[in-house]
Amino acid sequence: MRLIECLESRTVETLKPLADLCGVRGVTRKADVIAGIVAVMTSPEGLRQQWEQLDELSRAAVAHAVHNGGELDESAFRARYGRVPERLGRLGWYLKPTRLDLFLYNHRIPDDVLPLLESWVPRPEPFRLQGMLEAPKVVKQGKYQLELQRADTEVVGQQDLATFLRLVEQGEVRVTSTTRLPTANTVKKLLPLLAGGDFLPIEGEKIKAASTIRPVGLTRFALYGGLAQHTLSYTGSKLELTEAGRSWLRTQGPELLLDAFETWTHSDVFDELLRIQNLRGQKARRTRLSPPSGRRERIVEALSWCPVNVWIDVEQFFRAIRIWQLDFDVELTPYTNLYVGPLAEYGWLNEYGDETYWRLVHGLYILTVLWEGLASIGALDILYLRPEEADYSAKVDYYDELYFSRYDGLRYFRINKLGAYLFGQAAEYTPYEQTRPPFLRVTDDLMIHIIAPQFVGPADRMFLNSFTTPVDDQSYRVDLNRLLAALTEGRDPDVALEFLAQGNDGPLPEAVRELFAEAKDRSQAFSAPKRAFKIQARTPELAQMAMQDPKLRRFCKLLDDRTLVIPANRERTFRGRLQELGYIIPQS
């Protein structure tokens, strides 16, 4: 709106104090009062004089609005400066106007004033998040100092992802049919194989998959990053590798991981908000939540603006997200339906203020994405406390809960080299797999010896076990029968040979290459025809009709003048097309 339109919506009583600030006196008619204010505020000299009489905080507010398309984002401004000008914090018709009211009307600069200000109002210095080179060892919690736990994840995150995908390759990963979380049995198999274990200890003897962090993070990244897919069976949902998963497992190429990361970021199938166990009401009938991909994208964008290889306080990251105007909506309704505590009627977050709501919904969601999503795959190193030590509730007005989620204790994170690549801050990345020294010695007698066990992860041992016979903890034997069995299980001999060649200290012995070639040749000596079924047409003319149909002739064959042969996997297509043509095949 233009300035005159903004002023016309006000009463003469509220306009006269603004006119006094502009030096317009002795007029009583509303139109004359407005004309006097407009004359001052749309002239370069008058506008600059008013600017120079603003206090420092009000100048900062106007500068923020000028260089934000004319709008003052109060949340971003408060996050940066810690407060807003008094007038902005106490709007009301009964309050005496201030000089800032000449510039801002409902947090906006009038359209005809904005271009005048843009020509000379200085742009605020960009906010730059700072970090620490040295990792803090303790944090102060009330009267106590608590030791921070540290997890450097760049190497172990990729190793654990490879281990998880190897387990998928073996058909050992099952997920629940509704939440797609790993089953308890899957977690029991996975945890001992993870190089990093889980971030937090497992409480009690009974393992609950939902209470873990790394197993859930790896499962969701693989599944929603396109590295694995689920198939339904009578025992539940089992994960299988996709072509992208097999490719990354074979090469650990950074471009493939980046593709998976971007697919995971943009997925709306899962929502990390559900992982905040004490935030209730998420599935209530009236709850309307925003697409999680939009929230995730904002967090990743904020990470792309952060410094690399320094420790960043999560409280400062919260502040930066709001200053950079990368905050996001979680609920799409005017009033929240989310609550904490056992009873909804005593837990509605509306009663506790905007900041409490933000920390318990936005803040905990951000911590969940940072920790479970990004630290699990190796993009962020983290410093943290156990949730029961974290006292996250001390920073909000709600004190009844001991802790709200398993992610309450995340205090600092560091973007490592992998994270810098995934977040767009580095053009390339060299995976750990491509930098490790030789770790195998393959000999002429078809033995494989591990010569550098510190560089051999569980995924490597699982892969060796898939096509060799273990002799002891550090030795394996290759023989024709085991290779043929591996081929029967669907293993690719070229991938296994490539693995040995990359890990071997020197060229592979010719005897090993010859054995693999022989196994491959023997696997192709016989071939089984594809399963098919036969359909008998009543007349040769009907058979010819089917063979002349542009859809059916692509996969149908004539065995004789009335017998059609169809691949077993096309039976449904065949039946459907015949029905479109006006025929059906009775169910036998």
pLDDT tens-digit profile, the chain (588 residues): 999 999 998 888 889 999 999 999 888 899 999 999 999 999 999 999 999 999 999 999 999 999 999 999 999 999 999 999 887 655 455 567 889 999 999 899 999 999 999 999 999 999 999 999 999 999 988 788 999 999 999 999 999 999 999 999 999 999 988 888 999 999 999 999 999 899 998 876 688 888 999 999 999 999 999 999 988 755 568 899 999 999 999 989 999 999 999 999 999 999 999 999 989 889 988 899 999 999 999 999 999 999 999 999 999 999 999 999 999 999 998 888 888 876 665 456 666 668 888 999 999 999 999 999 999 999 999 999 999 888 887 666 655 667 889 999 999 999 999 999 999 999 999 987 778 899 999 999 999 999 999 999 999 999 999 999 999 999 999 999 999 998 888 888 899 999 999 999 999 999 999 999 999 998 888 765 667 788 889 999 999 998 988 888 888 888 888 998 888 878 888 888 888 888 888 765
C-alpha atoms less than 13 angstroms from C-alpha of 35 in its C-beta half-sphere: 7
Relative to beta strand 410-415, strand 311-313 is antiparallel
Sheet holding 228-233, edge to edge: 174-175, 236-241, 228-233
Question: For 63, phi and psi rounded to 5 degrees?
Answer: -60, -40
C-alpha atoms less than 13 angstroms from C-alpha of 125 in its C-beta half-sphere: 5
C-alpha atoms less than 13 angstroms from C-alpha of 290 in its C-beta half-sphere: 19
Read off the DSSP letter of residue 182: B
Which residue do the tokens 């603006």 mark?
Answer: 305
Q: What are 565's strand-pairing partners?
A: 534, 557
DSSP annotation string for 280-304: B-TTSTT--B--HHHHHHHHHHHHH
